Chains A and B, each alone.
Chain A
Amino acid sequence: MTAPPDDCLARNEWICGAYLSTRRHILWDAVLQHLRLTGLSVLVGLALAVPLAVLARRWSWAAGPVLAVTTVLYTIPSLAMFSLLLPVYGLSATLVVAGLVLYSLTLLVRNILAGLRAVPEETRQAARGMGYGPVRLLLTVELPLALPAAMAGVRIATVSAVSLVTIGAIVGFGGLGNLIYAGMNTYFKAQVLTASVLCVVIAVLADLLLLVLQRLLTPWTRAGGT
């Protein structure tokens, strides 16, 4: 007969090195799922938000309804959002991504639109005077100038998405949220704390990464100002 092991796992401590070493693969899989869900939803959100913002900028009558609809979507609590999409997508990762896309739309559309609106009229006219067509004006003048505001939106949307993915645990696709949910049901303190801390670490790292990306994409903002 062997004596029960007396390590931090058996004592159910909050911080536990043995947990990290024995559950490495589970943690890694959860982190990967978390990153995939977050990345996919922000990218799809961007793919939808850029055209929406451009349309709202081009035709001012479209701006009101677009902003109103995305604001209403943003008001709906995340648990309800995932539940409302259940009949459409079933218990799947797509459901979580769809819910997160709807959330990121508000932040992205609003910021991109603000960026486009902030492009000075003289700049636009100068480009037009140089013979720029509407498409070239949009792609090479307006969108680059809107980039700092747009990136601010992308950062907020990404950080929010990292935190909201955890709610996906209700349908079994919550990345680290799955570990938190399972840990809650079994009172497994080390698992809950480790997964929570990892969530915050992912959010902070993603934010920093996007900040660096923004600096690289908009070198002109540093040349003039700071």
Chain B
Amino acid sequence: MRTLTDAWGWLTDPAHWSGDDGIAHRLLQHLVLTVVCLAVSCLVALPIALVLGHLGKGGALAVNISNVGRAVPTFAVLVLLLLTPVGRWGEGPTVVALVLFAVPPLLTNAYVGMREVDRSTVQAARGMGMTGRQTLLHVELPLSLPMVLNGVRIAAVQLVATATIAALAGGGGLGRIITAGFNLASTPQVVAGAVLVAAFALVVEGAFEIAERLSPRRARGGAR
């Protein structure tokens, strides 16, 4: 109980919120890293997954890449990148690792979603004279949207977690509060940082949960 009140005290101390090491700055760093890397990963993964899913090719790759991603430790990749020339670009290793770990769930979910679209619907679209591109954009994509969004959600949660681990390898973000706490042997700071990270992750998950609740309506609206 002592530790919890101490952690609360640490969190509510205004001195810990300002400055380059302050909570506000770390929170912003974490948010920017997550959003930017999510956008980049989506731009990389979604077009590939949608086209592969539309063509029905490369399925083994798209499905297995998630399993490979799970077996490779995030921390190891971060440190390996840090020791390569990428390590010299400041946040370079963090960004590359974040994107690498966000791509597999995006790819797998979008691909599976595309393949799960009812084949007879796709044939009906072809029968109506739709081109491949039209089928992809107006039939398959809207129908697979829930699955694609699920992938985006998993990727976002993964990004928040990876951005935290990046602090172990010298990256920015909320994880830095935890690692700094460990270096100072300050349990209240470690716990306060952990609470912040956990809250951040749960808020992201919650935001997607709400978006998903609203999405069936949007998916139908998007099928114009």
Q: Which residues of A contact B (CB under 8 A)?
A: 72, 75-81, 83-84, 86-87, 156, 159-160, 162-164, 166-167, 169-171, 177, 180-181, 183-184, 187, 189, 192-193, 195-196, 199-200, 203-204, 207
Contact = CB atoms under 8 A, between A and B. Distances in A.
A87 B187 contact: yes
B71 A192 contact: no
B70 A199 contact: no
Interface string B186-204: 0100110111011001100
Given A75-B205, A77-B161, A87-B191, A196 B197 contact: no
Best-surrounded residue of B76, B82, B179, B187 (most CB of chain A within 10 A):
B76
B202 A192 contact: no
Contacts, number: 125
A86 B83 contact: no
B74 interface: yes
22 contacts: A76-B197, A77-B160, A77-B161, A77-B164, A77-B175, A78-B165, A79-B161, A79-B165, A83-B181, A86-B190, A86-B194, A156-B70, A163-B70, A163-B71, A163-B72, A169-B75, A170-B168, A170-B182, A177-B73, A187-B83, A199-B76, A204-B71
A166 B160 contact: no
A146 to B, nearest CB: 22
B96 interface: no
B191 A79 contact: no
B165 A167 contact: yes
Given A77-B175, A83-B190, 12 more contacts: A79-B165, A83-B181, A83-B182, A83-B194, A84-B191, A84-B194, A169-B168, A171-B182, A177-B75, A184-B169, A196-B76, A200-B72
Contact of B80 (A86, A156, A193): A193
Contacts of A163: 70-74
Smallest CB-CB A-B distances: 8 pairs: A83-B194, A77-B161, A196-B76, A80-B197, A203-B71, A87-B3, A163-B73, A80-B194
A183 B198 contact: no
A159 B67 contact: yes
Interface in B39-86: 67, 70-77, 79-80, 82-83
A146 B175 CA distance: 39
Interface string B131-159: 00000000000000000000000000100
B71 A162 contact: yes
Contacts of B160: 77
A205 to B, nearest CB: 10
A181 B82 CA distance: 12
A76 B202 contact: yes
Provide the main secondary structure of the chain A interface: helix
A107 B181 CA distance: 30
A18 to B, nearest CB: 18
B95 interface: no
B80 A80 contact: no
A159 B193 contact: no
Contacts of A177: 73, 75-76
A75 B201 contact: yes
A72 B206 CA distance: 10
B75 A166 contact: yes
A80 B167 contact: no
Interface string B7-38: 00000000000000000000000000000000
B153 to A, nearest CB: 10
Nearest to B77: A196
Contacts of A170: 168, 178-179, 182
Contacts of A184: 79, 82-83, 169
Contact of B167 (A79, A87, A192): A79
Contacts of A193: 80
Contact of A86 (B71, B76, B175, B187): B187
A79 B82 contact: no
Contact of B71 (A80, A83, A167, A207): A207
B168 A79 contact: yes
